[in-house]
Structures are given as C-alpha cells and as structure tokens.
Amino acid sequence: MIKTPICELLGIKYPIFQGGMAWIADGKLAAAVSNAGGLGIISAMNAGTDYLKEQIDIARNLTDKPFGVNIMLMSPHVEEIAQIVVDEKIPVVVTGAGNPGKYIKQWLDADIKVIPVVASVAMAKLMTRAGASAIIAEGGESGGHVGDVTTMCLIPQVCDSTTLPVIAAGGIADGRGVSAVFMLGAQGVQLGTKFLVAKECSVHQNYKEKVLKATDISTITTGKRLGHPVRSIKNPFSRDYFKAEYSSISEEELEAMGVGSLRLAAIEGDEKKGCFLSGQIAGMITKEQTAKEIIEEIFEETEKILKGANKWVK
C-alpha cells in the first residue's frame, strides 16, 4: 500500500485530501473521506461560527478519524473561525483566498497543522517562512478560484522552492494523475471535483449530473477582470457572466452578478442561474461511487502504475 510522509504527519491511511468546497464540503462528506482513509475537510466558507460548529459535530458523530477545516481568509467571520478551530481542537487547517500569516502562530501553538493553498512559488516561499506545516500547490486546471500556472509546471517548481511536504491539486482524478504528481515531487494529492460525485456528497443531483456529463472542454474561466478568476462548467450563467466581463458593465455590477450563484447550483440545482464550479478533469469522471470506492480505486491504480513504470521506458 502506498504511504508517504504526509500519512505519518496527519495520521491518515492514504495521502489524499478532499477539497474544501463551499456549500459542498460539509461534515458528512468530510467524515466519509476520513473514514475511507483520507483527510476529509469541512469548508467554513463565508458562514458564521454556528454553521461550522454544527458541521464539526456532524463529522465527529460519524468518524473518530482526523479531519480538517478549510478557512477562506476573505470571510467576514475569519477572526471568529480562526478561534473556533482552536477551541474545537481541529487537527488540520487548510487556508485559501489570502495570507494566513496572522493566524499561523495561534494555530501552531494549539498543535494544529497549518496547510495553505498556494498558486505560485512566491506564495509557497512566504508560507514556508511563516511556519506552515505543508503546502497545497494548486494548478489552474482546478475548479473554483484558480491561478494561472498549470499543475504540471507548478508542482516541481514549488517542490524546488520549499523544504515542506507538497500536496498537489488541480487536474487529478485517477491513479495516473496521482502517479504523475508523485514523480513531480508531491507527497500527496487533493481532489475536489472527483468528490462531487461521491455518494456521501450532499450537493444537488443536477450538479452531479453536470460533472458526469462533462467533456474535456466543458469548463470556462471567468472573473479575470476582477482579479480572482473562477473555473466552472459552461451554462447560461457562466456564458452570460463571461460576456458581461468584456462589456462596459462596471466591476461593482459584475461582482453583484455572481452573488449567491454557487448556492443556487449546489443547494438548489438551478441549471440556468447557478455557478457549477468544476475542474477540467470533470471529463474523466463518469460514475458515482462512495468515498471509500473512490480512494481505494485511485490508489490501487496508482500502485499498479508505479510498479509498471518501466513498461515503456527501457
């Protein structure tokens, strides 16, 4: 069975994280992934402390394995959320949408492993100096908020820039992707889009169907004009937003267009007004499975590929 230093660092069976997807990564999904041997992650998103406490309680009622919390640093509740993970003795915090430097000492003092998501070498170096425990390097193929550098190019450069363990994210959905990023220097992987179709994922069925029916060209990136590009599945909302982005509309009006669109997709399944965040890898996802089936299948394939890596190269 494949193990890396990430497994020992976090007390998990397989070196795989479930992405902290807003409105999707709840306590139920996190517990299922953790029970299957990975690291389940609850998204704190923009919600307040009551929501996060509720999801933590749900996860703890369903698993005795480690799980983490994803903290979006742009959240209006970030100060309270930063303290809640300390009070609740959460073992791992994953951060996104900003620099967590302000909170790292507080978390480390509470024996929390701090693992920021980065999209550049510069940010990886900054987080290394700040005292992070590991780094998630996320390529632009991923769903949701994305950077410009692809996973293939980003991972080896981040690995060369830091002494910390690197977890690769973006464009990974099977054992081939896991094997590839291991060869690039990563010690683990984070998957988001793949877990959208987990049977334990409570996202609206319309969302799952969009992922299952996606092809290699089914996603679009919007929001570059605003400085925070987002990748989602093409639908009336994303196409209208893309057109508006290159019109005379003001940035304030453009921002307003996106308010509530992810909730409309994830909770209500609104195929016209919802924003269905998804990575480019969606075209490879063709079936619903349990979290356990997803993880075991991926690592069985990874092990087979790595053992036969000299098939073509003599």
Q: Are residues 31 and 139 in the same domain?
A: yes
Strand partners, 42: 69
Bridge partners of 92?
68, 113
Of 168, 202, 236, the last residue of a domain is 202
Instruction: Give the DSSP H or E segment for 58.
Output: helix 49-62
Find the length of the chain: 314
**What CA–CA distance (Å, rounded) separates 39 from 18?**
6
| Rounded Cα distance, 175 and 190, in Å | 13
Residues 27 and 166 in one domain: yes
Query: Are 30 and 96 within one domain?
Result: yes
For residues 197 and 259, state if they share a domain. no
**pLDDT mean by block of 10 residues, the chain; 314 residues:** 92 96 95 98 90 96 97 89 94 91 92 96 95 96 92 97 97 96 97 97 97 97 90 96 92 91 95 97 96 97 86 67
224: containing domain: 219-277
List the beta bridge partners of residue 231: 144, 221
Same domain, 41 and 150: yes
In angstroms, the Cα distances linking 153 to 141, 170, 313 are 11, 12, 22
Asked if 192 and 232 sit in the same domain, the reply is: no
Instruction: Let me know whether 198 and 226 are in one domain.
Output: no
Placement of tokens 């639908």 in the chain: 235
> Does residue 177 share a domain with residue 67?
yes
210 in a domain, yes or no?
A: no
Can you give the pLDDT at residue 227? 86
Residues 140 and 244 in one domain: no
Residue 176 shares a structural domain with residue 66 = yes
| Burial environment of residue 30 by CB neighbours within 10 A (0 to 12, 13 to 18, 19 or more) | buried
The conformation of residue 44, written as its DSSP 8-state character, comes to -
Tens-place pLDDT, residues 178-216: 999 999 999 999 999 999 999 999 999 999 999 999 999
Residues 234 and 195 in one domain: no
Q: With respect to residue 310, please indicate whether it lies within any of the assigned structural domains.
A: no
Give domain status of residue 286, yes or no.
no
Helix (H) or strand (E) holding 95: strand 92-96
Q: Flag whether 213 is in a domain.
A: no
- Using alpha carbons only, what angle is made at residue 21 by residues 15 and 26, rounded to the nearest 5 degrees? 90
Q: How many helices (H) and strands (E) does the chain have?
A: 14, 11
Residues with Cβ within 8 Å of 129's Cβ and at least 6 positions away in sequence, in order, are none
147/251 same-domain check: no
In a domain, 305, yes or no: no
**For residue 301, is it within any domain?**
no
Q: Rounded CA gap, 245 and 237, in Å?
A: 12
How many structural domains are present in the chain? 2
- The answer to the question of residue 238 being in a domain is yes
Residue with the two structure tokens 């889009």? 193
* Cβ pair 41, 93 in contact under 8 A: no
User: Do the domain assignments include residue 168?
Assistant: yes
* pTM listed for this prediction: 0.93
CATH number for the domain including 80?
3.20.20.70
For residue 48, what are the CA distances in angstroms to 33, 44, 112?
Answer: 24, 8, 20
- Look at residues 169, 286, 282, 279 and name the one whose alpha carbon lies nearest to residue 232: 279
Residue type, 14: Y
